[in-house]
A = this chain, B = another copy of it.
């Protein structure tokens, strides 16, 4: 249950320190998560069209090295189901050129229906993640 996605750092994602602004990595996590969900299940957009959403309930991030403008970075994402009501993603972002570890982090999400009411992890996702 993992996926690797490559993105190139945009200029607007850097800040005056010359490195990628720290909040941007949460956006990279989102890119990795989107591709992993697509690979394992179906696109998050389809999920939303079915009335399902996965708001973030918790996030964490450790910063080891900075990325610079135009760097290619690799986002490795893994998915687990820690409780019957939560889905968790762990991420590792490295520089594509040399594999140097830049950032590690996680996000934890619940599932909500169209009225923003929490619902359990859908059975067909459980079947895919823990067959």
Interface of A toward B, CB cutoff 8 Å = 8, 10-12, 14-19, 21-24, 26-27, 30-31, 34, 43-45, 48, 53, 55-63, 66, 68-70, 107
Determine the main DSSP class of A at the interface with B. mixed
Q: Do A61 and B59 contact each other (CB < 8 Å), given the known contacts A15-B11, A45-B69? A: yes
**Copies per assembly:** 4
Q: Which residue of A14, A17, A23, A26 has the most chain B CB atoms within 10 A of its CB atom? A: A23
A61 touches which one: B18, B55, B58 (CB < 8 A)?
B58
Q: How far is the CA of A91 from the CA of B81 in the complex (A)?
A: 28
**Which residues of the partner chain B approach A61 to less than 8 Å between Cβ atoms?**
58-60
Q: Which residue of A10, A11, A26, A69 has the most chain B CB atoms within 10 A of its CB atom? A: A11
Q: How far is the CA of A6 from the CA of B27 in the complex (A)?
A: 18
Interchain nearest-CB distance for A30 vs B (Å): 6
Q: How far is the CA of A56 from the CA of B102 in the complex (A)?
A: 12
A12 touches which one: B27, B44, B107 (CB < 8 A)?
B27
